Structure 1
Amino acid sequence: MITFTAIRYEHAMLRGEKVLLRARHDDDVAMLHADLHDDVAMRSRSDGRAWRPIPAGSSPFAPAPPSDDAAVFTVVRLADDAVAGEALLWGIDLHNRQAHVGISLRPAMRGSGLGTDTVRVLCRYGFGIRGLHRLRLETLADNTAMVTAAERVGFRREGTLRSNAWVDGEFLDEAIFGLLAGEFVQLPGD
């Protein structure tokens, strides 16, 4: 018997082994806002802007009209259709054919390979669908999970910005990674 879920996701272009990237729905906002914005320590580590209280009604996770310089997705865990977090290509530069990669997973979803799969699907989207030439990923140098995900997908460390990020009362280093379209190795079935 084919379930509704199997029909809905079987041919999805932005499907990985563990995740599906889809447009943001209004139903996603409260959960993403609570887990990814209201956690001050986590948000301070994932966003270069100073944290400030924002009511859920004005959430940065609210669906927005499409834009030329960003592609924003909700990450869904395929195993149970649970909202796992957000993923985006931002700073899309069509002239130079490049963009930045960003992901943020809910705390309960971390540590199970969803991050690596999400980065891989974003790369496939950026290179295969958007026709980009280069993707860039910035993360705090001590963010082992993101560094590992980037390296597993094929990103190369291009440098370190020393004491570049003000996080919770101290400056931290940021690691810069890059991946060119010709370096991206897709998995079988991609």
Structure 2
Amino acid sequence: MSSQARTELVLQRATFNTLIRPYLVIQVGFILAITVVGLPLAVLWFCGIGQWWARHYYDKLECELSNRTLRFRKGILFQVEKTIPLENIQDVTFIEGPILRQFQLTLLKFETAGQSQHAGNQMQLVGIVEAHDFRARILAARDGLRHGQPAAAANATDQQQAQLVLLTRIAERLDDISLLLKSTAQGQTASKPADENAPSPALPMTKP
């Protein structure tokens, strides 16, 4: 096992919106319906084949971000599986058209240096839940790797700083409690001699 494989750490696994399934059924069915040759296939598509295909397509979707790479897989008959080194990612384009908005979906397109148009069509995913946050994490991990500080190390540093702040606050509260206990004990000690030196109450005089 190489040193790179040993140090690779999964940062996030993407989850996908279930509305991908009806969106794909309508999208592919519309493409078939606008052609004379595909019109009979569109009827079969909407009668059940499309639902079956969309369900299996959704089940096979995967996308995983590590501190060094972005890996995703999609497709049924023709599967596309890509592992993109983070330093090769130039940008992650966020696309949200009117049809996608109707299904509450977004499309992320991963742009790398020197990619062809065909490769660009393959390097895109639709339906990632919280796509804005996932895009931000990809770019943050890429920038951290380029500057020599992987995202996992940066997250660990932030956690250590938060723990240090918490421990400092606990120590301060313990010091306050210790001072309060000392002052209370000193006050009790100082009050005891005063009580002992106080004159005893005079006894009432009785007549013979």
Tell me the TM-score range normalised by the shorter chain: under 0.3
Q: What TM-score, normalized by structure 2, do the two folds share?
A: 0.26
Higher helix share: 2
Higher strand content, 1 or 2: 1
Larger Rg: 2
